[in-house]
Chains A and B, each alone.
Chain A
């Protein structure tokens, strides 16, 4: 393996249980986002645009979609002779085998990979954040401050600070303390889950952490506090710009809507910092006579005969005549039949919404699919590969899941068909 100055490691193995049925078959980073992207595209494109050429993608939960999507890394210019994209799943070794126990353990288990690249610095990233960031600038700061670790931070509104991992800092943004979700925050600098470590320091810390049986092997709660206790120099790197963790249904929905409501912030049109993605190979989209499309993002292969307002459509979505789609996120291949009404829905791959179905935030009715743990703010989530019965009614905060047992008369699923799991 060729030597690299910096290696990026993307943590992409988590289940993302809070995304409910959207992550039943695919890991969170592989969930479609923003019409023509998958969530991980943002992190991978940041690497490509920052000139980082060796990228490890740590996958564990339902890896098929993620592995096929990342593939050889070609869409992100990561198909290289020296470096490139590496999928790093957990593996068996003589004597024992372990799943990735925590974020730090995942890196620990791949220390041979990093050692072979022999880098000076390691960049630890999450595969589930939406943001555009130049890691090269952060690395420059890390080098010039001679820090052992640099943590990217975002100034958040004080009233929200207690929802984040907060870093308390002293002079020159040197970190004095890391507090996970503090009740009384002393600072409003939230950790973004973007870390640069000097590899020598991190390597030693990972080994020590692994030897501590009480540790949960997590960067935020174990590695960072341990380094602080050892008196290492940890600096905060202030990032300003759009950043969103899309870990919940409501934040995923919000981030999708931000493409429409805050296009300047998320700035997908910036040609000097493109977000790359794997292309579905579909023709351009078609807007028929009599269709209405307002305030919407869409991409190749869509065919619109009905009405769409304030929505984000992935590739190959069909909206038939008389159907109305509002404030919704439709994933690839969804069909909305004539006369259906969707408001604030997230619909999974290839699902067919039957004629006259009414679903969403302003639909009245009762339903056994109600699931306020996953769905909040009135959002309805519908699983992939379903045919929803004609004229079904799905009220707010429902999650239509084919594995949920529901009495025949209340069941809105007509058919479950096998669809691609990628």
Chain B
């Protein structure tokens, strides 16, 4: 499991918004899969690869993310050497506000202070359970400047997507953003690896040229000056979309912040089918085709169908919810009926009382 690499996770993605859910928090901190936040996957993938130094680049709304990550102890990243670093925008006396150039200056310092040979940069909208050892080895053998991961089922998840065109040797020769006509089905996973020194040079150069954006696809756009190798990933990937099929994955463990909730209790009169539930839930009503996060209460005679219900939501008696996403700490008063459409679910914001 030895790997000579550090990780860099981009916690925000300006091209992706999840409405009410990403309003109060960074994309990476959006609750996912009953007991996780989206970032748990990429972070666990890195830790399971043997990476011991991870930087999390944030733009704004990072309070929720910081609460979740804490010292990094849940991922064994609370270390004297390296470990977890949250990199909020670097504001100094010369820069007035928060912009990406400052972000890049902070990033440059972080990468310079490391000593790994490689850096794995990843966006945080991909849910996959993998390790990066093979990815880094293949990159090293290939002699390419940058390797970038793609798979072939990305288009069905809709926009935003970056499509690669590659030459016969497997190098990127063109990259298109949300193309109208599909020229290729090679859809970027937003995960790249390159030598740390090269990344330092690239970022320094970008700062010098006054470029304000940094990201995986900002690097891969430089395909005419860099040798960028496209690496196909064949495992299962979810692009922040449906939340079902991953449960049966027999992969490496996915770590997350532990909440020390009591076990879930199913009381008399409860009826549950095809659902994922978490610790701390108390179920007295009916739950069908739904995902319940930690600490959710469903009271007597209430019926939940096709819902995603985040942590500590309280649903009172005699409620009926269908196709609803309820964010953290929401309270549904007795007798409320909420029905959304399958393709357009009702989203109730964090802490709302309905």
Which A residues lie at the B interface, using CB under 8 A?
A: 34-36, 74-75, 259-260, 263, 268-269, 274-277, 279, 281-300, 312
> In the complex, what distance in Å separates the CA atom of A259 from the CA atom of B265?
9
Contacts of A298 in B (CB 8 A): 263-264, 266
> In the complex, what distance in Å separates the CA atom of A75 from the CA atom of B275?
29
> In the complex, what distance in Å separates the CA atom of A292 from the CA atom of B253?
28
Q: Tell me the dominant secondary structure on chain B's binding face.
A: loop
Shortest distance from the beta carbon of A350 to any chain B beta carbon, whole Å:
16
Asked if B73 is an interface residue, CB under 8 A from chain A, the answer is yes
14 contacts between A and B (CB under 8 A): A260-B265, A269-B265, A275-B262, A282-B253, A285-B264, A285-B277, A286-B275, A286-B276, A287-B277, A291-B272, A293-B266, A293-B272, A294-B268, A298-B263
Are A287 and B272 CB-contacts (below 8 A) given A35-B263, A263-B265, A297-B263? yes
Contacts of B292 in A (CB 8 A): 284
Q: Tell me the dominant secondary structure on chain A's binding face.
A: loop
Q: Is the CB of A300 within 8 A of B268?
A: no
Contacts of B279 in A (CB 8 A): 36, 284, 299-300
Q: Is the CB of B35 within 8 A of A294?
A: no
Which B residues lie at the A interface, using CB under 8 A?
A: 33-35, 73, 247, 253-255, 258, 260, 262-268, 270-280, 282, 287, 291-293
Q: Is the CB of A300 within 8 A of B274?
A: no
Q: Is the CB of A275 within 8 A of B263?
A: no
Q: Is the CB of A288 within 8 A of B274?
A: yes
Q: Is the CB of B274 within 8 A of A287?
A: yes
> In the complex, what distance in Å separates the CA atom of A173 from the CA atom of B229?
80
Give the contacting residue for B35; candidates A35, A275, A283; CB below 8 A. Answer: A283
Are A268 and B277 CB-contacts (below 8 A) given A281-B255, A291-B272? no
> In the complex, what distance in Å separates the CA atom of A221 from the CA atom of B266?
44
Give the contacting residue for A269; candidates B262, B266, B291; CB below 8 A. Answer: B262
Q: Is the CB of A281 within 8 A of B254?
A: yes
Contacts of B266 in A (CB 8 A): 293-298
Shortest distance from the beta carbon of A280 to any chain B beta carbon, whole Å:
9
Contacts of A34 in B (CB 8 A): 263
Contacts of B291 in A (CB 8 A): 284
Give the contacting residue for B34; candidates A263, A281, A283, A288; CB below 8 A. Answer: A283
8 A-B pairs closest in CB distance: A284-B34, A35-B263, A268-B262, A284-B278, A289-B274, A297-B263, A281-B253, A279-B258
> In the complex, what distance in Å separates the CA atom of A53 from the CA atom of B73?
20
> In the complex, what distance in Å separates the CA atom of A288 from the CA atom of B244?
12
Shortest distance from the beta carbon of B30 to any chain A beta carbon, whole Å:
16
Q: Is the CB of B263 within 8 A of A299?
A: yes
> In the complex, what distance in Å separates the CA atom of A284 from the CA atom of B309?
13
> In the complex, what distance in Å separates the CA atom of A286 from the CA atom of B247?
8
Are A289 and B276 CB-contacts (below 8 A) given A277-B260, A297-B263, A298-B264? no
Contacts of B253 in A (CB 8 A): 281-282
List 9 other contacts, CB 8 Å, given A36-B262, A275-B262: A263-B265, A281-B254, A284-B34, A284-B35, A285-B264, A285-B278, A290-B273, A293-B272, A298-B263
Give the contacting residue for A295; candidates B267, B272, B273, B287; CB below 8 A. Answer: B267
